[in-house]
Structure 1
Amino acid sequence: RDFGVFFPILHIILLSSIEVAGYLAAWFAFDMHWTYMHWLVMALMLVVLLVQALLTRPFHAMPQIVPLKGIDWMGALLWCVLWLQVAWLLNYGDWLDWWHSSDFRLVMGTMLITLAVCLQRMMHHPKPYIEPAMWTYHNVVPVILLIGVVEALFSCEHVLEMVYYEEVMHYADHTYEALNRWSLPGIVAGCLFSIGWLKLMRWNVYKLIALALVAFCIYAGGFYVLVDSNISIEQLRIPILWRGFSYAVLCISFMWCLHAIMSFEHFFQALSVFNVLHMFVGGLVGAALHARGMKYYVADGFARCSGYVDSVRLSARAVDFPQMMNGIVEGFLAQSVKILFGWTLIAGLFFAALMLLWDIPMVRHQVKHIPAWPVVGMRVLRGVQRQRRLKRLRHLRRSLKN
């Protein structure tokens, strides 16, 4: 139960396995056939079953087996349906042009109905699948929202990087996965750094999250500077290494926050919400925003360039029109990727500064006591009027002396 060690070691295994699995899938598809990856997964699962059957024995820590009674299975099913509807909306929204599609509006309406039923069951069922008390812990809602924001920021790995690799640089999957292996040293370094920070030094987790966001800004800033159609593939290794470091530290930090702020009774409920945002909802929100941004900036680039392309200029010299258009499209895609990496960098800097400010005790304890904006405006107005009266009084005293 020493989570300062368990969480980092767990994420070394999890994140490294994810990266290795991606490389193995690309390697099988490149050198053999893509179905070999499925055979490998089935073989590994059989090994697990054999180990369980041959090397373990049935043991129950409790005197009698506890049946799966008292679990709100209907609530669990409703939450699964809700998350599937959310995933469908975010995944196909850009493809269906959002609210212009009747299918999108239909699923959105049913999603709102499902959400209302889930909330009603959570508030009135004696043993709900996700209890309302889970949301009452101090800082649990800001932590969960920050998890979703961070996952949305990291979606640039799956949208912007893939557009750049496939459409601009024309890398094959094998080349991309070979390049992506440079995130493994960053993952291991981030996990070991988290052990030192949380277990050995026992420092504040707010600063650790801020440092991880700064590392993410280095990654986003590196791609913002390097994105071009003429760079060497080796130049992308350092930003990818920082991406692995940042992602590992953030995953560990968020799980540590949930463990620190709530009891064991509700920890796994919060962990389920964390994994929903961590695994697909946060990433789909970011992917939808980045896809919308790509569509906007590419169209904006064509609109700005169309005024410089006409039949007179094209007929003045012999050009390969398809090749020219291919180069123009690649340039617009690279420019759009660079712009969106810039916006992602700004967002990362904002949240890093927010976490550093939140770590200041005066800000953290007094932020709830900041008055409303009308009150602030009235106080400023009274201060200005007071300064004017003092100025008139000083002027009157000078005139009396004279």
Structure 2
Amino acid sequence: MIGLLLTVALTVMITTHNFRFIKPLPFVSIDYLGCVLWSLVMIEFIWFFNYGEYYNWLNAPEMQAAAIMFILTLCLCIGRMLNIRHAYIAPEAWKYKRLWQLLVLFAFVEFMGSTPKVLQTAFTGGVLHFGTFTTNVLNFVEWTAALAGCLFCLVWIKVFKLKYTQLLTVGVASLAAYPVLMYLLIMPGLNIEALYLPVFMRSFGNAIFFTTLTIYLEEAMPFAHFFMGLTMAGIIRNGPIATLCSGLYSFALRHQIADNIGRGLPYDMTGIMSISIRQLYGYTCFVAIGVLIVFLLWDVQPVRSTLKKMPTWNFVGRMMKKKEKKVANS
């Protein structure tokens, strides 16, 4: 990851000119304390659900302290947001009608993406006994599927100029195909090649969903609040919801294995684990297919018939100059 990030930074340094259309402006209006508080909220939330299974959730004093700290920090974030002029996330940015729908959809994608972190890893490691080097082959499948999903979005929107909101239905269908295929494939002695298709479908659907939702977010919010909307989506995407779902899946898997052992099923530990993983994939199938049916019956209408244009940086620079003059005159 560090190598890839350095490659991106080097590419920017080589292929772009150090050109400024306006003079550098100091970051005087950024709420740094608000940034720290929102970051602490994310860290505390991630820590709670990441170590919940290890500490046996609220039975441990460490988890109780983490829950109290999360509530207090969140209250500080909300209070500061409502009582200062330039909040890190402005209160007006939370009032857009379609924003909460988008955040729910982002959470759904993270829920579907958390299944391989627990169930697929438990299946490949605990049932199939694949090593790390073997399972890394699936990462190349995910990478290929992500590129295919992005190119599919490009062709859908730019070449064929179809409704970009219908891409969400295609993404949901692809995401729903993953737990269905895994439910049908789970068995001891499965070849790793059989996992290529479900992994490809999941990563393909993720790429379509995240690309389309980001476009839809840009359509639903003006430029002034768009990056705040990205921050809200990032709060869901970059850790908290995925950690929440992974923690719940880990707890559900442990509970399901204990329940199957208690029922006295005539299987060894590998068979019981395989049955438990299949049961949880079955529950995930119900959720995914239910959401797919909702999308098929409810055609989400776009904000406008054509995509709006992002403002050019020259326009943004002129707007910033006008605001700077107003502040200087006042």
Q: Please indicate the TM-score interval, normalised by the length of the shorter structure.
A: 0.7 to 0.9
**Which residue is equivalent to 1:389?**
none
**Which residue is equivalent to 1:319?**
none
Shift of 1:270: 0.8
Contact 1:86 1:281 in 2 (8 A): yes
Question: How far apart, in 1, do the equivalents of 2:210 and 2:19 lie?
Answer: 32
TM-score of the superposed pair, with normalisation by structure 1: 0.70
Q: SS of the residue aligned with 1:105?
A: helix
Matched, 1:59 2:19: yes
After superposition, give the CA deviation of every residue in 1:28-83 in whole Å (9 maximum; x if it has no partner): xxxxxxxxxx7xx39x738945973x776542220x21011111111111111111
Q: 1:153 aligns with which of 104, 112, 125?
A: 112
**Which residue is equivalent to 2:287?**
347
Question: How far apart, in 1, do the equivalents of 2:142 and 2:263 lie?
Answer: 37
Matched, 1:335 2:275: yes
After superposition, give the CA deviation of every residue in 1:338-375 in whole Å (9 maximum; x if it has no partner): 111111111111111222233177xxxxxxxxxxxxxx
> Which ranges in structure 1 are unaligned for 5 or more consecutive residues?
1-20, 22-37, 309-326, 362-402
> Which ranges in structure 2 are unaligned for 5 or more consecutive residues?
302-330
Distance change (3 Å), C-alpha of 1:121 and 1:48: closer
Q: SS of the residue aligned with 1:79?
A: helix
Question: How far apart, in 2, do the equivalents of 1:339 and 1:304 lie?
Answer: 15
The size of the alignment, in residue pairs, is: 301
Written as runs of structure 1 = structure 2, the 5 A alignment for 1:71-220 is 71-220=30-179
**Which residue is equivalent to 2:214?**
255
Contact 2:177 2:201 in 1 (8 A): yes
Question: How far apart, in 2, do the equivalents of 1:59 and 1:45 lie?
Answer: 21
Shift of 1:237: 1.3
**Which residue is equivalent to 2:6?**
45
**Which residue is equivalent to 1:27?**
none
Written as runs of structure 1 = structure 2, the 5 A alignment for 1:237-252 is 237-252=196-211
Question: How far apart, in 1, do the equivalents of 2:190 and 2:126 lie?
Answer: 14
Q: 1:271 aligns with which of 230, 245, 251?
A: 230
Shift of 1:182: 2.1
Matched, 1:358 2:298: yes
Question: How far apart, in 2, do the equivalents of 1:345 and 1:77 lie?
Answer: 38
Distance change (3 Å), C-alpha of 1:57 and 1:102: same
After superposition, give the CA deviation of every residue in 1:281-300 in whole Å (9 maximum; x if it has no partner): 12112101211110111001
After superposition, give the CA deviation of every residue in 1:189-229 in whole Å (9 maximum; x if it has no partner): 21122112222333333321122111111111111000111
Percent identity of equivalent pairs? 25
After superposition, give the CA deviation of every residue in 1:4-28 in whole Å (9 maximum; x if it has no partner): xxxxxxxxxxxxxxxxx6xxxxxxx
For residue 20 of structure 2, what is the amino acid of its counterpart?
A: H
Shift of 1:122: 0.9
Distance change (3 Å), C-alpha of 1:139 and 1:55: closer
